[in-house]
Amino acid sequence: MRLLEWQGREIFERAGIPVPPGALVKSPQEARRVAERLGGPVVLKAQVPVGGRGKAGGIKLAATPIQAEELAGTLLGARLKGVPVEALLAVRAAEIRSEHYLGITIDRDSRQPVFIYSPSGGVDIEEVARTRPEAVAKVPIPPLEGLYPFRLRRLFALAPAHLRKELFRLAGKLYGVFLEYECNLVEINPLAETEEGLLALDAKVIIDDDHRPGEQFSGLAEAAEDPLEAEAKEAGLSFVRLDGDVGIIGNGAGLVMATLDLVVQAGGQPANFLDIGGGARAERVQKAVELVARSGQAKVLLVNVFGGITRCDEVARGIVEATGVLGIPVVVRLTGTNEREGKEILARAGLVPVDTMEEGAAQAVALAKGGG
Ligand code: GDP
Ligand code: MN
């Protein structure tokens, strides 16, 4: 369960992790009142359970209460990566001296929590780790041992000396949150150095789905789920949102993962993982295509189906039914049970399937890049 920023921020606050003053708002008028109360410029932040809001236009700086009202009006009701924006966090804008990254996640290789720190925060940490691995420190914490100071000293070796003491304190509190809420991830990015010291300007908290939350969580779960992922689950589909622009539908997790790999190998980036499962009828396929269309990210859809108990004619019918709402090109690879019928249905709708997955991936990536 991924919490929204305001929920994660509330947990941080309770744990004594400093956050800028602010409030959750649901109307432009409220945004204006909060801005008046805070005094000075405010940052308005769309509360949607997807990352990279800054780049997607979901974070706005308002210099005055009037401007806060105007900007809140444009953000509220709009969609960010296909998710309607229903609430904003309005916080006092901080004067940032430097941006850091601090997070804890589970390292699946060593099967223990790992602390991650970088003095180059505020940007995509995976990108920093890829281009400048020396700027990212990772220190595993053996869970039975607790948080020994020597591990934190290693973690913060890259930190400016004047911030180390504060970082130590903060890391202890963050580790407390990680354990208490049974998280898969807690992340502060950016952790900003300001005049008043370090401030958590963003809060990302993912609670393990097998954790049975107590009282303190009531009402959080529904609010935090990606509405498209929830809708998919209800329709019996596994849908996971990713960051790229090639929409992918397949049957079976293995085939879908192989398709993701092929798209990456062909130089593309998957927009989602979508498994229609075994034996899907046309309606479920149609629903899957609609979800990809509504996620608002994909520039092309690649359907890769191996017919076993799933029948190619049902898949083709579902695709054809949904083409009206799709609005993007679709590349289809179909093979197996009722393949000939499926291909005929596609042909009647003017769709020409490709013969191999490799061909499909290459064509989809070319279309996403605008080449065709
Ligand atoms: P994300 O893009 O979804 O991770 O959203 P963030 O909450 O991390 O905000 C994106 C970026 O906006 C941050 O990396 C900061 O650079 C900037 N930002 C957020 N809050 C403030 C603020 O109070 N003051 C200033 N100057 N920049 C901010
Ligand atoms: Mn962030």
From the CA of 55, give the closest atom in ligand 1: 2
Please tell me the distance between residue 307's alpha carbon and the centre of ligand 2 in angstroms: 42
Q: Is 23 in the pocket of ligand 1 (CB under 6 A)?
A: no
Please tell me the distance between residue 38's alpha carbon and the centre of ligand 2 in angstroms: 22
Give residue-wise pLDDT tens across range 10-41: 999 999 999 999 999 999 999 999 999 999 99
Measured N-to-C along each axis, helices 312-326 and 282-294 cross at an angle, to the nearest 10 degrees, of: 30
Would you state the torsion angle of the CA atoms of residues 98, 105, 113, 221, taken in this order, to the nearest 10 degrees?
A: 120
Residue 215 has pLDDT above 60, yes or no: no
Task: Tell me the pLDDT of the chain averaged across its residues.
Answer: 93
Every domain range in the chain assigned CATH 3.30.1490.20: 21-92
Please, what CATH class does the domain formed by 21-92 belong to?
Answer: alpha beta
What is the CATH architecture assignment of 227-368? 3-Layer(aba) Sandwich (3.40)
pLDDT of residue 51: 85
Every domain range in the chain assigned CATH 3.40.50.261: 227-368
Give residue-wise pLDDT tens across range 37-85: 999 999 999 999 888 899 899 999 999 999 999 999 999 989 998 889 9
From the CB of residue 289, how many other CB atoms can be counted at a distance below 10 Å? Answer: 24
Ligand nearest to the CA of 6: 1
| Region 285-309 average pLDDT | 94
From the CA of 20, give the closest atom in ligand 1: 23
Q: Is 43 in the pocket of ligand 1 (CB under 6 A)?
A: yes
More confident position, 360 or 231: 360
104: left (phi over 0), alpha (psi -120 to 50) or beta: beta
Task: Judge: domain 98-217, CATH 3.90.220.20.
Answer: no
Just list the catalytic residues: 101, 187
- Burial class of 348 by CB neighbour count within 10 A (0 to 12, 13 to 18, 19+): exposed
pTM over 0.75: no
Every domain range in the chain assigned CATH 3.30.470.20: 98-217
Give residue-wise pLDDT tens across range 119-169: 999 988 999 999 999 999 999 999 999 899 999 999 999 999 999 999 999
Closest CA to 2 of 220, 174, 214: 220
Q: Is 52 in the pocket of ligand 1 (CB under 6 A)?
A: yes
Output phi, psi for 270, to 5 deg: -65, 140
Output phi, psi for 181, to 5 deg: -95, 5
